[in-house]
């Protein structure tokens, strides 16, 4: 299980229960809305990061406290990898947890600068993030809840983006776009099985 609290720092997070909404919008592909607020705010300064400090609930480190990773699967169990990938690439999707990405030299270098402290006073779904730059400047962020949680539901556009990113990896961008369009029209379909058949066809 990848830790999505740090992903929320850059507008990542989990999809939660929002996937049932219908808005009649079309997919803009997995590359739409790339990046995130935090990544955009940091800009080129992301390459000047000296240290990243996380303060979160002990359960987070118990489940995702793997310090070193060699495979994408191991990356999913590392809050350190999630934080580094989120800051450097603006990515908290499955594309962040591949063998190739986990071993990128620039990502490994930033990951080694990430530290995490367990604080029982933190809520299980919250995290405090502090980024220190080489010039000594410091940026802090408190994430109360991940985007996509019940408290911070995804917008329709964010649902589309997440769907396209994850489905496109499996069935391709074009098929994901068609499937999304059909899913948004689910309530008007005479046969809801059309969605399942299209998903299986890819």
pLDDT one-digit tens code per residue, 126-143? 889 999 999 999 999 888
Q: What is the pLDDT of residues 45-87, one digit of tens each?
A: 889 999 999 999 999 999 999 998 999 999 999 999 999 998 8
State the pTM of this model. 0.71
- How crowded is the C-beta side of 128, counted as CA atoms within 13 Å? 12
């Amino acid at each position: 299980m990848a830790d999505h609290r740090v992903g929320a720092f850059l507008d990542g997070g989990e999809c939660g229960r929002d996937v049932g909404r219908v808005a009649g919008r079309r997919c803009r592909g997995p590359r739409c809305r790339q990046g995130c607020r935090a990544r955009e705010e940091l800009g080129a300064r992301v390459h000047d990061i000296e240290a990243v400090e996380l303060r979160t609930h002990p359960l987070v480190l118990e489940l995702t406290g793997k310090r070193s990773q060699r495979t994408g699967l191991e990356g999913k169990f590392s809050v350190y990898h999630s934080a580094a990938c989120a800051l450097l690439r603006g990515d908290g999707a499955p594309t962040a947890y591949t063998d190739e990405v986990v071993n990128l030299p620039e990502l490994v270098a930033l990951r080694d600068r990430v530290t995490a402290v367990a604080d029982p006073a933190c809520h299980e779904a919250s995290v405090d993030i502090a980024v220190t730059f080489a010039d000594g400047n410091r940026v802090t962020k408190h994430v109360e809840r991940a985007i996509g949680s019940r408290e911070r539901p995804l917008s329709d556009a964010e649902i589309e983006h997440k769907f396209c990113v994850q489905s496109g990896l499996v069935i391709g961008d074009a098929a994901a776009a068609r499937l999304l369009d059909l899913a948004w029209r689910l309530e008007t379909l005479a046969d809801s099985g059309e969605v399942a058949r299209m998903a299986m066809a890819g």
